Amino acid sequence: MKGQRAAAPRPSRVRARSAAIGAFVVLAATVPAAASAAGTQEVDAELRYVCALPSGRQPVGVRVSAAFPDRVEAGEAISPVDVTTTVELPADAVADLTALEAATARAATRLTVGVAQDEAAAEATWHGAAEPAALPGAGPLTLTATGDVPSVTGRSDGDLTFSAGNLAVDLELGAADGTAAGPGTLTLDCSPAEDTPKDGLLATVRVGTDTAGPSGSPSPSGSAPKAPAPSSGTPGAPQDRQGDRAPKAAGDPPGAAADRDAPPCRYDDAHPPTPASLNAYVTGYTNVRKLKGASLLPPSCMLIEQGNPVDGPPDPEYLIFDTASTADFHYEGRKQTPPFESTFLTFGFTPVTATMVLEQTGPITIDSRIKMRWSDFRTITDTYVRAPLVLRVTALEVNGTPLDVGPGCRTETSLTSADPDPANHPGDHLVLYGRGEQDLGLPATGYLLLSGGSLSGETTVPAFTGCDAGGENLDRLLTASVSGPGNLLKQVQGQTCSIANPVFGDEFNAPQCTRDLQPYVIPVPER
């Protein structure tokens, strides 16, 4: 009878490779610690928001509940627990969803929370996810989202405040037969109503020595810091809608864009402009549903050729035009994004960095339908962006040690979405949707090709191929861990620069181009 052989110790490189795979397929979520034993304050704040829906901006009730510690020591992490964001959509908002033939809605919430102590201020994003809910035949719809939130550390003595700011509600819409309804996904951008009490203050946590007044209140001297007022995010202001951020370079305008937190974005001899040429930066996040995480797309350059408007179908209520534009990513002469890195923690302690790019496999198309209503000259623009893009993994590092994944580690085909018009747009490609609206004489809201804004969609990550790390094929493992449907995306495009008619800015117009004809606006990603 033979005895069982003892397992040989695994070489360090094999252990490192296993850690890398674990890190790549388990994006680290923030797991809060238990509330401080010094005492807990329960927060249940009723807030009022105004949200942009297909029919216009409507009031929405929001309730945020959480448990905070009463007091912590300087340098001790503050980790809110039992965080719940409840959104009540009024009956008119539900009617907007049913008009899209939706029968169910699955919500994911993104609440911006301002954190302030003394002169220091920062923002955190509280994410929540809700179970699918059936749309009622009449009355409001209540969506209750829960999730873990990042911890915050006060480095010195003094009250630290948490205040609710802008809110985004990502809705995954389903039809009665289980297929996607309408655009598939819809993002409601919400800002605090003007009459929101106490500037959205959620909680005050005392940090350090006991020099403040009663728990959860400012000191009698009034020296406690005031939380920064939440940004309005009013869709009517393009710079708020896009997350406008000017170049860092001194003297721009009228100087060139030299020191900016984005790659160069200009036409050159290999890509000469035409009278219809535009350029713009795009950025955004892509959720990975299996991993309960997200990947950030850094500011990336797009070169756009704007199409000429043609008459759309006749309509007694609207004057309709259609435009078909094309676009390409542009990075160091290639049709791809810049390489972007994400760092994760395997099993909570091993740091791993993955480097990735998105590469085009064909032209990106931008199809817009512009509808102007005769009765009041209100304009509605629906835009679909179709992009054939493969995801390539170029490098992995485990605790600073590089691991070879091979030169061809990528998805087998493009990221794919359900296309609303598959007969005219066959093949594998990603689909993003945005809607812009404008009343005569008022600023536009939502997404327009020229002024930018947010687009959203949902994609399936295909199987991986070519992922050979030192002779060990990792295709099946990455496919099982990452690939699959239901991954939400949100892309933000900045204001375009028109190469033929650049706007450098003056007392009447905000700048759109730098003097060397790069986009002036670098958008900030939204989740």
Q: Please say if the pLDDT value at position 419 is more than 70.
A: yes
76 within domain boundaries? yes
Show which of 159, 183, 207 is a domain's final residue. 207
Where does the pLDDT of residue 224 fall: very low under 50, low under 70, confident under 90, or very high at 90 and above? very low
337 within domain boundaries? yes
Query: Which of 59-68, 154-163, 484-493 is least confident?
Result: 154-163
Model confidence over 429-466: pLDDT tens digits?
999 999 999 887 777 889 999 999 999 999 999 998 99
406 within domain boundaries? yes
pLDDT value of residue 406: 83
pLDDT value of residue 210: 52
Query: Which of 183-192, 218-227, 426-435, 510-519 is least confident?
Result: 218-227
Model confidence over 263-296: pLDDT tens digits?
999 998 888 999 999 999 999 988 777 666 677 8
- Written as six digits, the tokens of 187 are 């993002």
Q: What percent of the chain has pLDDT over 70?
A: 77
Kind of pairing between the strands at 201-207 and 71-72: parallel
293 within domain boundaries? yes
Show which of 160, 179, 207 is a domain's final residue. 207
102 within domain boundaries? yes
Query: Which DSSP letter does residue 416 get?
Result: B
Q: What is the largest CA-CA distance in the chain?
A: 92
User: Distances from the Cα of 141 to the Cαs of 89, 95, 190, 319, 438, in angstroms?
Assistant: 5, 10, 16, 34, 28
Q: Please say if the pLDDT value at position 143 is more than 90.
A: yes
Where does the pLDDT of residue 79 fall: very low under 50, low under 70, confident under 90, or very high at 90 and above? confident
Q: Please say if the pLDDT value at position 207 is more than 80.
A: yes
Show which of 207, 231, 257 is a domain's final residue. 207
Q: Please say if the pLDDT value at position 12 is more than 60.
A: no
- Is the domain of 470 the same as that of 343? yes
- Is the domain of 177 the same as that of 319? no
Structural domains in the chain (count): 2
Over the chain, what is the mean pLDDT?
78
Q: Please say if the pLDDT value at position 15 is more than 60.
A: no
522 within domain boundaries? no
Model confidence over 312-353: pLDDT tens digits?
888 888 999 999 999 999 999 899 999 987 654 433 344 556
Where does the pLDDT of residue 229 fall: very low under 50, low under 70, confident under 90, or very high at 90 and above? very low
| Alpha-carbon span 245 to 242, nearest angstrom | 9
Mean pLDDT of 161-190: 87
Owning domain of residue 408: 276-444+455-492
Residues 6+ apart with CB under 8 A from 485: 289, 458, 459, 460
Where does the pLDDT of residue 377 fall: very low under 50, low under 70, confident under 90, or very high at 90 and above? confident
160 within domain boundaries? yes
- Is the domain of 367 the same as that of 472? yes
pLDDT value of residue 453: 92
Mean pLDDT of 227-247: 32
pLDDT value of residue 400: 73
| Alpha-carbon span 188 to 171, nearest angstrom | 8
pLDDT value of residue 376: 82
